[in-house]
Chain A
Amino acid sequence: MQKIEAVIQPSKLDAVKDALVEIGVEGMTITEARGHGRQKGHTEFYRGREYSVDLLPKVKVEMVVKDEMLEKAIQAIITAARTGKIGDGKIFVSKVDEAIRIRNDERGEIAL
């Protein structure tokens, strides 16, 4: 089982969700996040004071998938989220030791 964490542009959330559901990934957790990579921020003005804001709004999509699904899921995310400009985001993959369904104690891949 592999965990995929994808930090993407908020405007790409719907496209990414639809693409994942289409290939059979049914469970995911989505959080509002702020961050940046090499993307520069912007300045905001309040009552004449300049504030440089480098924490930009992002969305983080997390999911745990079967090993066989990993590449398909990654490709689905990339196709849906890419614009070609700086700020598109990143995907991180890590191994998951265990998955458990709280409702009925199911463990392993069937819990996904």
Chain B
Amino acid sequence: MRLSVVKVFVSLLLVLMAGGMVLGGTAAMAQTAAATTGTSTAGMSDSARLSALEKQQADNATAIAAAQSAGDNSWMLVSAALVLMMSGPGLALFYGGLVRKKNILGTMMQTFAMMAVITVLWALVTYSLAFGDGGGSLHAFIGGVHNAFLHNVGLTPDKDYAGTIPLQTFMIYQLMFAIITPALITGAFAERMKFSGMLVFMVLWAIFVYSPMAHMVWGKHGLLNASLGGMFPTLDFAGGTVVHVTSGVSALVTALYLGKRLGYPKVPMPPHSVVLSFIGACLLWVGWFGFNAGSALAASSLATSAFVATHFGAAAAAIGWSAAEWIRQGKPSALGAISGCVAGLVAITPAAGFVTPMSALWIGLIAGVVCYLMVVKVKAMFGYDDSLDAFGVHGAGGTLGALLTGVFANSVINPIFGAGKPTGLLEGNGHQLLNQIVGVAIAWSISIVGTLVILFVVDKTVGLRVNEEDEREGLDLSQHGEEGYDWAH
């Protein structure tokens, strides 16, 4: 009885599939219209042949555009996923391993909360603020609210931003940047920030610091937008100023405002698991290909350039930091090597799609050494508790990278000002370095002012720092009622 029911069902399926194939043809199953392979024009009049050929031409053009889009869109969606991976678990692990055991979950939750909260905020309003075209007289600084709730952010491309991919792909890709930027700041106030205060702080920061900065560098009519005719075109391929300088400088401001951790610097607070940080750093390195090469916004040879530059920058910086450490301290540590690689990735971020592979090696090497000195000498000199070196690596590395971009940018790699027009200092355009300084200065300013105001507001309302008892107990228990490691089970 059961077998015959199965037989009938399978037969029915086969009949339907066969019918579908006969009636629908391959067109029913294809994602895009297939180009016709050739039209037989034998026996037609000349005008009829012409019409047929013109139609063929149009069909072919459509098919080519579709193929281009398919390639670009698939790379961009993968890139978006890679950048999200940089936040979770990349950054979560990297930072998590650097804090004390009692704060592991608290630290990871800070990054994870960004993945959730910034996403919703982006959909509601911050995408529009960053990339909208409704800023009116202020459109050099902000995008307005015309695209709030992702209004008009559909599947057709926006040719100013990325002409071959759906606008929603661009939107989701940019979202991943908006997520990781505030997550980076958490490194400065690690182990002492209230979860509730942090949430309010980040929402305000995303609106008042990140969105305007992103708009100025990447948005339509942006003051610093090098691709769309900004007044001070700042070369920032993937976010050296937008992401790293803003987060790094804001991090320094919060570290200074909140003050040092209890017991710092006398009480030893070494990382509880360099193993976790190591895993996180490797995920960051791989994910960064999405961050930098994806910023080409297409699966193009520019993406290749950025990919290569990114990788070379990371490698050279790891060597630079390790060499400096080996010389100065006698042994190259694992923590130093991975920190160096991150510093290199930060520095190459603004330069990735503008420099040659050899220049990328130089940028990486310089960044590795400079950031090492920032972290081991400058921090101790000034005595601030930038717990996880968000300023030392991202603030300093981003600033350095943005300036070096003005030095090494080359029109052969990216003719952003026009084919053959010198782009960077070494190519003969010293003026660009001035533009880079303007961009960096604006990033520093908006970060310092914006962050200070927001810190003050949140401090007086929700409160920023955990109380002493909660800090001693650890964030896992005091903020989240959990223990990251339960030795009893």
Contacts and interface: CB of A to CB of B under 8 A. Distances in A.
B380 A48 contact: yes
B32 interface: no
A47 B268 contact: no
Contacts of B265: 49
Interface string A17-51: 00000000000000000000000000011111101
B47 interface: no
Nearest to B268: A51
Interface in B267-318: 268, 270-271, 274
A48 B376 contact: yes
A95 B372 CA distance: 56
A47 B389 contact: yes
B39 interface: no
Nearest to A51: B268
Contacts of A52: 268
Q: Main SS of the interface on chain B?
A: helix
Contacts of B380: 48-49
B51 interface: no
B461 interface: no
A47 B325 CA distance: 9
B331 A45 contact: yes
Q: Main SS of the interface on chain A?
A: strand
A47 B331 contact: no
A49 B389 CA distance: 12
B375 A48 contact: yes
A25 to B, nearest CB: 28
A31 to B, nearest CB: 12
A49 B336 CA distance: 11
Contacts of A47: 335-336, 339, 375-376, 389
B333 A45 contact: yes
A85 B372 CA distance: 38
A48 B270 contact: no
Interface residues of B, number: 19
B270 A51 contact: yes
Contacts of A46: 270-271, 274, 333, 335
Nearest to B339: A47
Interface in A68-99: none
A46 B333 CA distance: 8
B336 to A, nearest CB: 7
A59 B13 CA distance: 68
Nearest to B379: A48
Nearest to A47: B375
B111 to A, nearest CB: 20
A48 B325 CA distance: 8
B329 interface: yes
B377 interface: yes
A51 B270 CA distance: 8
B339 A45 contact: no
A46 B389 CA distance: 12
A3 B290 CA distance: 62
Nearest to B392: A47
Contacts of B331: 45
B270 A44 contact: yes
Chain B CB within 10 Å, residue with most, of A48, A49, A51, A52: A48
A46 to B, nearest CB: 5
Nearest to A44: B270
Interface in B370-418: 372, 375-377, 379-380, 389
Contacts of A49: 265, 270, 376, 380
A51 B271 CA distance: 11
Contacts of A44: 270
A52 B266 CA distance: 11
Contacts of B333: 45-46
B482 to A, nearest CB: 24
A52 B377 CA distance: 19
B268 A48 contact: no
Contacts of B335: 46-47
Contacts of B325: 45, 48
27 contacts: A44-B270, A45-B325, A45-B329, A45-B333, A46-B270, A46-B271, A46-B274, A46-B333, A46-B335, A47-B336, A47-B339, A47-B375, A47-B376, A48-B325, A48-B329, A48-B372, A48-B376, A48-B377, A48-B379, A48-B380, A49-B265, A49-B270, A49-B376, A49-B380, A51-B268, A51-B270, A52-B268
Interface of A: 44-49, 51-52
- CB-CB nearest 7 A-B residue pairs: A48-B376, A51-B268, A46-B270, A51-B270, A47-B375, A45-B329, A46-B335
Interface of B: 265, 268, 270-271, 274, 325, 329, 331, 333, 335-336, 339, 372, 375-377, 379-380, 389
